[in-house]
């Protein structure tokens, strides 16, 4: 990167060659003794000119300052009068950045006096006279009035609901915009906090860029917490962090300024956002679980008589025989479902014991499912004589030897039944 002397020499040589350029001044960080002296500082240059049209119509002059990466051309009105400033923002490949403004010569007083960080580099006609040395007093943090303090604190709490609204609607750009406004106002609050600590003789830089230099480490760490990524939950966390920081710094600044901290706004907004966030978390949680894959759960039981025969039942709505049992209902355990189904289908009160768990893939007829197979003590003669079927859902039952049962049962469950019986789970 070129040195400051090299760049200024180029600029001043150009200005001397151009009759229209009468005064050259520089402002910004390169004349601010309090600013970090690094190579990234821009060259903020103003040419006071008798006419600017030629620099706008023919811009080949830009090439003499280096190899250009990109430029922006701005046209801004002067603070007084009806003339405009032509500004060229120039970024060069070697890292040099020049912001060069062409301003009407008749506004020279405004040019050299509007910014206390102004240094005259060239005055062809000795128009400027004796100027004060440049300093940053014009950039010092200004002590707010009570009205200004109240307005910022009100805005900080008011904007919280906008962020929440954007998040609840899943409108991240809307939430982002509102959060950025909160961040801007927090930076204003933090600048007052710093101003108090330095007796209002401190410059925190354009856009509060030097907050890190002047804030205590713990406060700056809290400040970093008000930024969010691209995840909604990170926005909720940033919102919560902003509330803590507003509360901490707002109270201290209010006390130092003799202002009233809006405690009731703090309490109301915090409670409101906490309530809607908890509600949204419940909805989001339900939405998440509702989106998960579903598996049908069924419970069936192996019941044998004293002869080792297996009880099978004939449903009215199926072409094949089955085991007593059925679908596990919502908020019902498999063992409770098994006991309930046995009572409903054959009228017996049985205490099931888990024998096997089997996963079955989806088929044309059935969705993916999990079968819990239970067993119980061998049925007594009295229990067998007590079996009652309703004749509607279950139309028949019988005891058969396992090999015969395999022929009658739904082929999807036969493998599991075989496995259970192979484990000597018969009587």
pLDDT of residue 364 exceeding 90, the answer is no
**Structure confidence by residue, pLDDT tens digits, 74-91:** 998 876 666 788 999 999
pLDDT at 137: 93
- The 10s digit of each residue's pLDDT in 212-254 is 999 999 999 999 999 999 888 899 999 999 999 999 999 999 9
Residues 6+ apart with CB under 8 A from 94: 1, 2, 66, 67
| Contact status, residue 54 vs residue 20, Cβ threshold 8 Å | yes
pLDDT for residue 294 is more than 90: no
In the prediction, which pLDDT does 287 show?
76
Average pLDDT of span 103-114: 91
Predicted local confidence at residue 322, as pLDDT: 95
Question: Using 50, 70 and 90 to split pLDDT, how confident is the model at 95?
Answer: very high
pLDDT in tens, 24-74: 999 999 999 989 888 899 999 999 999 999 999 999 999 999 999 999 999
Contact of 47 with 69, CB cutoff 8 Å: no
Query: Who has greater pLDDT, 292 or 223?
Result: 223
Q: Round to whole Å and give the CA distance between 273 and 156.
A: 14
pLDDT of 421 reads 86
Q: What is the mean pLDDT of the chain?
A: 93
For the domain spanning 296-422, the CATH number is 3.90.79.10
pTM for the model stands at: 0.68
Among candidate residues 130, 229, 245, the one with its CA nearest the CA of residue 182: 245
CATH superfamily of 146-290: Nucleotidyltransferases  domain 2 (1.20.120.330)
Show me where the domains of the chain are located: 4-139, 146-290, 296-422
DSSP of 270-312: HHHHHHHHHHHHHHHHHHHHHHSPP-EEEEEEE-B-TTSPEEE
Looking at residue 130, what is its pLDDT? 87
- Three-state secondary structure readout of 320-352: CEECCEEECCCCCCHHHHHHHHHHHHHCCCCCC
Write down the pLDDT at residue 285: 72
State the sign of the Cα–Cα–Cα–Cα dihedral 225, 228, 234, 240. positive
Q: Which residue has the tokens 């354009």?
A: 206
CATH class of the domain whose range is 4-139:
alpha beta
Q: Which two tokens stand for residue 84?
A: 């405009």
pLDDT at 80: 60
pLDDT value at 280 more than 90? no
Per-residue confidence (pLDDT) for residue 82, from 0 to 100: 67
Q: How many residues does the chain have?
A: 427
Would you call 221 helix, strand, or coil by DSSP?
helix
């Amino acid at each position: 990167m070129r040195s400051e002397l090299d760049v200024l020499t180029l600029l001043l040589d150009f200005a001397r060659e151009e009759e229209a350029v009468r005064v050259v001044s520089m402002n910004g960080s390169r004349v601010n003794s309090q600013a970090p002296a690094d190579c990234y500082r821009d060259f903020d240059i103003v040419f006071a000119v008798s006419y600017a049209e030629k620099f706008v119509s023919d811009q080949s002059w830009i090439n003499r300052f280096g190899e250009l990466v990109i430029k922006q051309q701005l046209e801004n009105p002067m603070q007084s009068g009806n003339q405009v400033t032509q500004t060229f923002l120039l970024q060069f490949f070697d890292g040099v950045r020049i912001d060069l403004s062409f301003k009407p010569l008749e506004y020279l007083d405004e040019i050299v006096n509007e910014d206390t960080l102004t240094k005259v580099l060239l005055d062809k006609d000795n128009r400027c006279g004796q100027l004060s040395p440049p300093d940053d007093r014009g950039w010092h943090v200004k002590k707010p009035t009570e009205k200004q303090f109240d307005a910022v604190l009100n805005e900080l709490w008011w904007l919280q609901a906008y962020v929440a609204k954007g998040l609840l609607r899943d409108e991240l750009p809307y939430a982002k915009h509102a959060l950025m406004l909160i961040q801007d106002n927090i930076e204003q609050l933090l600048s007052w906090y710093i101003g108090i600590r330095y007796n209002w003789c401190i410059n925190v830089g354009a856009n509060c860029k030097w907050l890190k230099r002047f804030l205590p480490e713990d406060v700056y760490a809290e400040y970093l917490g008000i930024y969010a990524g691209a995840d909604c939950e990170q926005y909720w966390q940033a919102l919560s962090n902003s509330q803590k920081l507003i509360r901490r710094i707002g109270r201290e600044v209010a006390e130092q300024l003799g202002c009233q901290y809006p405690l009731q706004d703090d309490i109301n907004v915090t409670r409101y956002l906490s309530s809607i966030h908890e509600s949204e978390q419940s909805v989001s949680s339900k939405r998440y679980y509702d989106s998960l894959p579903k598996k049908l759960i069924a419970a069936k039981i192996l019941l044998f008589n004293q002869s080792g025969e297996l009880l099978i039942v004939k449903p009215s709505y199926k072409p094949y025989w089955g085991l007593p049992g059925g679908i596990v209902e919502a908020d019902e355990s498999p063992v409770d479902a098994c006991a309930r189904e046995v009572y409903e289908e054959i009228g017996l009160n049985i205490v099931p014991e888990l024998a096997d768990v089997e996963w079955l893939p989806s088929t044309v007829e059935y969705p993916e499912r999990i079968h819990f197979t239970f067993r119980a003590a061998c049925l007594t003669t009295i229990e067998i004589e007590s079996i009652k079927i309703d004749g509607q859902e279950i139309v028949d039952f019988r005891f058969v030897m396992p090999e015969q049962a395999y022929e009658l049962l739904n082929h999807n469950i036969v493998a599991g039944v075989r496995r259970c019986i192979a484990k000597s789970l018969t009587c």
